[in-house]
Homo-oligomer: A and B are copies of this chain.
Amino acid sequence: MAPETDDAVEWLDDDEMQSWMAVVAMLGALPSALDGQLKRDVGVNHFEYSILAGLSASPDHTLAMSDLAGVVFGSLSRLSHAVGRLEKRGWVVRCGTEAGRHQATRLTDLGRAELEVGAPSHVREVRRLLIDPLTSEEFHQLGEISRKVLDAVDPKRAADIRRLFH
Give 24 pairs: A residue, B residue, CB < 8 Å, sorted on A: A1-B42, A3-B121, A9-B120, A10-B123, A18-B143, A19-B142, A20-B126, A22-B146, A22-B147, A23-B143, A26-B147, A26-B150, A26-B153, A27-B27, A28-B73, A29-B157, A30-B149, A30-B150, A128-B152, A130-B149, A134-B145, A134-B148, A138-B141, A138-B144
Given contacts A29-B153, A129-B152, contact A22 B143 (CB under 8 A): yes
Give complex CA distance A141, B148 in Å. 14
Q: Which residues of B contact A73 (CB under 8 A)?
A: 24-25, 28-29
Is B19 in contact with A140, judged by CB distance below 8 angstroms? yes
| Chain A contact residue count (CB 8 A cutoff) | 68
Interface residues of A (CB under 8 A from B): 1-4, 9-12, 14-16, 18-31, 33, 41-42, 50, 73-74, 117-118, 120-121, 123-124, 126-134, 138-154, 157-158, 161, 164-165
Counting from the closest, the 9 A-B pairs by CB-CB distance are A19-B143, A2-B121, A26-B146, A22-B146, A133-B152, A9-B120, A2-B41, A133-B148, A29-B153
